[in-house]
Amino acid sequence: MKITLEQARRIAHLAYMRFENDAELDRVRGHLEQILGYIDKLGELNTDDVDPAVGAAGGMIGVLRDDTLLPTLSEDDVVANAPDSGRGHFKVPRIIA
């Protein structure tokens, strides 16, 4: 699929991309044409016998555990291994003067 320089300029604007000159924009336009060419090739594949998949799990349902409420740690347990703490909070060095 061919992309004009004006279309590439519009896409760059939508993606908040800035270019020093039209040569840089033309290079990106070429990359976009390659990407769209690969997508066109996918349309040539015969997928008649392929079942649709839903997400990374491939349509499997119930593969995750149920959400259950578990007891939380006390403030003392949370800060027990901290290098420096006080009044239930972590103490960190000041980084802004």
Is residue 49 scored above 60 in pLDDT? yes
Full domain range(s) for residue 11: 5-42
The single-letter code of the amino acid at 67 is D
Q: Is residue 60 part of a domain?
A: no
Question: How many Cβ atoms sit within 10 Å of the Cβ of residue 29?
Answer: 21
Q: Confidence class of residue 54 from pLDDT cuts 50, 70 and 90?
A: low
Is residue 51 scored above 80 in pLDDT? no
Question: How many Cβ atoms sit within 10 Å of the Cβ of residue 39?
Answer: 10
As given in the structure block, the two tokens for residue 81 are 């291994």
Domains of the chain: total: 1
Lowest mean pLDDT among 15-29, 48-62, 77-91: 48-62
As given in the structure block, the two tokens for residue 27 are 């290079």
Give pLDDT, residue 89: 87
Q: Is residue 12 part of a domain?
A: yes
Record the pTM: 0.48
Q: Is residue 16 part of a domain?
A: yes
Q: Confidence class of residue 55 from pLDDT cuts 50, 70 and 90?
A: low
Is residue 65 scored above 70 in pLDDT? yes
